[in-house]
């Protein structure tokens, strides 16, 4: 009853036990809400609030390591630009209204 030797089992292709096939996906920190609000307020709503929220977001990002430093910086810059533009527009408007009042001789 001699049997011929059996061949060894085929080696399994794949990861070795205990090791994952791919490295785990790195955890992405959350986006800072104040950074998003900074850009939204700076562009569309009320630019001085964009400046405030941008500064607050930069402080929080430095402490927590959240994402959004670019949005916060953009919100501060755009907030300052729009605040200056609105301020100049207001001064120009006051000048035009003042000139109209003086030109017509109306007393207020």
pLDDT in tens, 69-96: 999 999 999 999 999 999 999 999 999 9
**pLDDT band at 64; cut points 50, 70, 90:** very high
> What tokens were used for 63?
């402490």
* Spatial distance between the Cα atoms of 39 and 70, rounded to a whole number of angstroms: 10
Averaged pLDDT for residues 46-55:
95
Q: Is 9 helix (H, G, I), strand (E, B) or coil?
A: coil
Nearest C-alpha neighbor of 33 from the set 64, 68, 63:
68
Angle, in degrees to the nearest 10, between helices 33-40 and 69-104: 30
**In sequence order, what are the beta bridge partners of 67?**
31
């Amino acid at each position: 009853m001699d049997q011929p030797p059996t061949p060894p089992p085929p080696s399994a292709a794949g990861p070795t036990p205990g090791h994952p096939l791919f490295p785990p996906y790195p955890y992405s920190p959350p986006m800072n809400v104040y950074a998003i609000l900074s850009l939204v307020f700076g562009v569309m709503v009320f630019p001085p609030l964009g400046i405030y929220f941008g500064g607050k977001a930069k402080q929080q990002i430095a402490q927590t390591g959240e994402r959004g430093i670019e949005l916060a910086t953009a919100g501060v810059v755009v907030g300052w630009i729009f605040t200056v533009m609105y301020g100049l527009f207001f001064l120009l408007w006051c000048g035009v209204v003042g000139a109209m009042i003086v030109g017509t001789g109306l007393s207020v």
